[in-house]
Amino acid sequence: MGDKATLTVDGKSYDFDVFVGSENEKCIDIQSLRDQTGYITMDPGYGNTGSCYSSITYVDGAKGILRYRGYPIEQIAEQASFMEVACLILYGELPTQQQLGRFRDAIAEHAPIHTNLEHHFSGFPKSAPPMAILSAMLNLVSCFHPEVLEVHSEGRAFNRTAALLLSKVRTISAFSYRMAIGKPINHPNPNLSYCANFLHMMFSDPYREYIASPTVERALNLFLVLHADHEQNCSTSTVRMVGSSHANLFSSVAAGVCALWGPLHGGANTGVIKMLEDIRSSGHSLDYYLDLAKDKSSEYKLMGFGHRVYKNFDPRSRILKKRVYEVLEELKLDDTLLDIAIELEEKTLQDDYFLSRNLYPNVDFYSGILLRAIGIPLDMFPVMFAIGRMPGWISNWRELLAHKQRISRPRQIYTGEKLRQYVPIDER
Ligand code: ACO
């Protein structure tokens, strides 16, 4: 705490504390505003509202900076495994070999799912959206592991619940895919890495075990690492909102999955591929689509462009763009969608509409092409995002409880009818 900010309203002045974060981010703490002045602030979409103090992830949207617990995303993406990143995000420090080993053991231990839980998959129609299955099944886990209903943000109980969740989300996601394609499930193999095990559960067949190539495994690892956390985005804020009622971790992240599902958030990676495929097949020029996106009378948006926070570039998109080339080359794949994507990006970089609004490719723009290259089907893209985001959701849920944050309960300004008297139905 240091300086004060002064607000003058109705002829009176009020002082509020100013808080400066470790990277010089500033806020005016208005927690006492309503009590002192009778006013509330109005900020739909929360673009100027801080909802918490957090030490997990730092984003500087103007400079295109993203750091997990202080480590630059560029270094992490280049060198760390998803399990290492999960430990870092959950516990605040990079794990030692021994700590990582214990963490991996816990993940392996919790990978199988209860046979009765397995039966629930067959109750979904084949066409069921994988995000609906994921959200439902995450809630169901608590029926088979009642201990996760207890809310612990510290100690062994928390460690166990966190490992259980990180592990179960992978198994549930892979099983939902197997059910959707009408093939038998593949049980987890404890000897495989987090990524290789997921790919095995997705793609092995009874007579042909899928062994992920190092390129594919690295590509999936990169995808998960880049999605591991992103401070107070829509789904993470949802997890915190639900968790603030002391809802258990599984129900809180199940709500996060639902928030992530939307096309403006985690559903955008699917939208990007659909958009690129549409461009390829329609015969229309790229300028046609750019004009459509600029036309305010149309609802059309360029999927994978724009971000609430990044107003220069999204560092995750830069990393992905570089890796997508390498992965396609290493796998000897030629994806014409990548050519269209690059041409589209180049055009937007010369277009005043996009430049003046700071609309650059976000993480979703190139991630879909990477997922396609490693064989992930389109409707599983948001599920992949959810698996990746799990460490961030868990860590934010934990931090909320550790900080003993009050239940989330925004205010509103009522603009409806004033008091009126009820009229019985036969007199209307
Ligand atoms: N295509 C065309 N115009 C756009 C786009 C886009 N993708 N994104 C924003 N704009 C325009 C808006 O219409 C607005 O124009 P105006 O000033 O003339 O009214 C201006 O740019 C500013 O945009 P906002 O609406 O203020 O952006 P906001 O912060 O509310 O939304 C969002 C951010 C949701 C990401 C938005 O850019 C969008 O819908 N993008 C496409 C979907 C997408 O890629 N989502 C993934 C986001 S990243 C993630 O969740 C992992």
Q: pLDDT tens-digit profile of 238-254?
A: 999 999 999 999 999 99
Confidence (pLDDT) at 153: 85
Confidence (pLDDT) at 150: 87
Q: What CATH number belongs to 73-208+231-263? A: 1.10.580.10
Q: Which residue minimizes the CA distance to atom 10 of ligand 1? A: 306
Q: Which residue minimizes the CA distance to atom 49 of ligand 1? A: 265
Ligand 1 centroid to Cα of residue 306, in Å, is 5
Confidence (pLDDT) at 274: 95
Mean residue pLDDT across the chain: 95
Q: Which residue minimizes the CA distance to atom 41 of ligand 1? A: 303
Confidence (pLDDT) at 238: 98
Q: pLDDT tens-digit profile of 115-167?
A: 999 999 989 998 999 999 999 999 999 999 988 888 888 899 999 999 999 99
* Known catalytic membership, residue 105: no
- Whether residue 387 is predicted with pLDDT greater than 70 in this model: the reply is yes
Ligand 1 centroid to Cα of residue 316, in Å, is 17
Of 142-151, 221-230, 301-310, which range is least confident?
Answer: 142-151
Confidence (pLDDT) at 412: 97
Give the relative orientation of helices 336-348 and 286-294 as an angle to the nearest 10 degrees: 50
Ligand 1 centroid to Cα of residue 308, in Å, is 7
- Whether residue 275 is predicted with pLDDT greater than 60 in this model: the reply is yes
Active-site entry in 227, 230, 314, 364: 364
Q: pLDDT-based confidence at 312, cuts 50/70/90?
A: confident
- Per-residue pLDDT, averaged over 229-245, amounts to 97
- Per-residue pLDDT, averaged over 300-321, amounts to 93
Confidence (pLDDT) at 125: 92
Q: pLDDT tens-digit profile of 82-122?
A: 999 999 999 999 999 999 999 999 999 999 999 999 999 98
Confidence (pLDDT) at 211: 93
Confidence (pLDDT) at 113: 92
Ligand 1 centroid to Cα of residue 266, in Å, is 14
- Whether residue 394 is predicted with pLDDT greater than 60 in this model: the reply is yes
Q: Which residue minimizes the CA distance to atom 29 of ligand 1? A: 308
Q: pLDDT tens-digit profile of 368-382?
A: 999 999 999 999 999
- Per-residue pLDDT, averaged over 55-59, amounts to 98
Higher-pLDDT residue of 153 and 60 is: 60
> Encoding tokens for residue 191?
């000897």
Ligand 1 centroid to Cα of residue 376, in Å, is 26
- Per-residue pLDDT, averaged over 61-68, amounts to 95
Ligand 1 centroid to Cα of residue 307, in Å, is 6
Ligand 1 centroid to Cα of residue 305, in Å, is 7
Q: pLDDT-based confidence at 207, cuts 50/70/90?
A: confident
Ligand 1 centroid to Cα of residue 263, in Å, is 11
Confidence (pLDDT) at 152: 86
Q: Which residue minimizes the CA distance to atom 46 of ligand 1? A: 265
Q: Which residue minimizes the CA distance to atom 32 of ligand 1? A: 307
- Whether residue 276 is predicted with pLDDT greater than 60 in this model: the reply is yes
Pocket of ligand 1 (CB under 6 A): 264-265, 268, 293, 301-308, 357, 359, 362-364
- Per-residue pLDDT, averaged over 358-377, amounts to 93
* Residue from 305, 310, 365 to probe ligand 1 pocket by mutation (most atoms less than 8 Å from CB): 305
* Residue from 46, 264, 345 to probe ligand 1 pocket by mutation (most atoms less than 8 Å from CB): 264
Q: What percent of the chain has pLDDT over 70?
A: 100
Q: Which residue minimizes the CA distance to atom 30 of ligand 1? A: 308
Measured from the Cα of 385, ligand 1's closest atom is 51
* Residue from 310, 359, 385 to probe ligand 1 pocket by mutation (most atoms less than 8 Å from CB): 359
- In this structure, is the dihedral angle defined by the CA atoms of residues 53, 57, 58 and 63, taken in order, positive or negative? negative
Measured from the Cα of 358, ligand 1's closest atom is 21
Q: pLDDT-based confidence at 1, cuts 50/70/90?
A: low
* Residue from 257, 308, 310 to probe ligand 1 pocket by mutation (most atoms less than 8 Å from CB): 308
* Known catalytic membership, residue 426: no
Active-site entry in 307, 339, 379, 403: 307
Answer CATH for 4-65 from 2.20.28, 2.30.110, 2.60.120, 1.10.20: 2.20.28
What are the sequence ranges of the domains in the chain?
Answer: 4-65, 73-208+231-263
Q: Which residue minimizes the CA distance to atom 26 of ligand 1? A: 308
**Does 73-208+231-263 match 4-65 at the fold level?**
no
